[in-house]
Amino acid sequence: MNPQRIGRCLGRDERTPRRRHRAGTLLGERWTLAILRELFRGRTSSAQLVGCFPYLSKAVVRKRLRALLQAGVVERSRSRDQYRLTASGEELRPLVEGLGAWGRRWLPRPTSAQVEVTALIHEIAQGAPGNDIDVPLWIDIVDAGEHRHWSIGPERGKAFAHKGEPRADTGVRLTTTVTALVGVWLGHTTMRAALREHTMVVRGRPEHVRGLVSLLHRGREH
């Protein structure tokens, strides 16, 4: 008997594997899940979505949005500057959140070579509402003898990340390795453990340090 006919007799749709492949291809494109996550958080305008990824070109963000649009996951407003999740897109919410929870539970902690530091710092900044950052946060990343300096601070009611050395001895200063920072952010370890292991060092007023701890532990909620 013809294999396709056997499949129909068994109630199996031979197109199902192709659909799984297409879904995997769509969601497996780099940055697509990150863009979906921002849509789930309520960031729907073109400017907001592009602004969430300052380390990506606008063309990359728009290309991913175009693919989601063509797949029926999002739709555009009449003004064409807003994206709304369709019923199909909303159905992806538990899947994307479940993938994040699965990754935090089962995937090994990424090595420093696997981490894109720029993306990590900007993600930390996005996890902090501007009114929660009332003093600058200076992050010194030390790995293999290399020092990289970042700051996260409030601007126009939001938290923004910038590259550069501290301009003044104010706020909270965190010296850390990439592995320790991503480990705390993803929930593989705690900041207390990192401080005890001396992979993190913090300087600042106690109330500001508590704010830093709260901020870094938000990553496990994302």
One domain, residues 149 and 201: yes
User: What is the Cα–Cα distance from 126 to 40, expressed in whole angstroms?
Assistant: 14
Q: How many domains does the chain have?
A: 2
Q: What angle do CA 77, 27, 79 make, to 5 degrees?
A: 10
Structure tokens belonging to residue 48? 């907001």
What contacts 14, CB < 8 A, 6 or more positions away? 4, 7
CATH number at residue 203: 3.30.1050.10
58 shares a domain with 13: yes
Give per-residue pLDDT as tens, 91-137: 999 999 899 888 878 888 788 788 888 888 888 887 765 445 667 88
The yes-or-no verdict on residue 209 having pLDDT over 60 is yes
Q: Mark whether 129 and 200 lie in a shared domain.
A: yes
Same domain, 61 and 157: no
Token pair 């996951």: residue:
73
Question: Same domain, yes or no, for 7 and 45?
Answer: yes
CB-based contact 136:151 (threshold 8 Å): yes
Residues 68 and 30: beta-carbon distance below 8 Å: no
Query: Among the three residues 65, 91, 106, which one is the final residue of a domain in this structure?
Result: 106
Cα 31 to Cα 19, 61, 79, distances in angstroms: 21, 8, 25
What would the pLDDT profile of 24-54 be if each residue is shown by its tens digit? 899 999 999 999 998 998 889 988 898 888 8
First to last CA, the chain: 51
- Rounded distance, CA 149 to CA 135, Å? 16
pLDDT number for residue 60: 94
CATH of residue 14's domain is 1.10.10.10
Find the range with the poorest average confidence among 26-30, 88-92, 166-170, 190-194: 166-170
> Domain ends where: 86, 106, 126?
106
Residue-number span of the structural domain to which 167 is assigned: 112-221
User: What would the mean pLDDT of 158-163 be, rounded to a whole number?
Assistant: 77
Q: How far apart are CA 39 and CA 221, in angstroms?
A: 16
Distances (CA, A) of 202 to 114, 149, 183, 194: 25, 14, 16, 11
Final residue of a structural domain among 75, 106, 137: 106
Strand arrangement of the beta sheet that strand 146-155 belongs to: 158-163, 146-155, 137-143, 172-176, 200-203
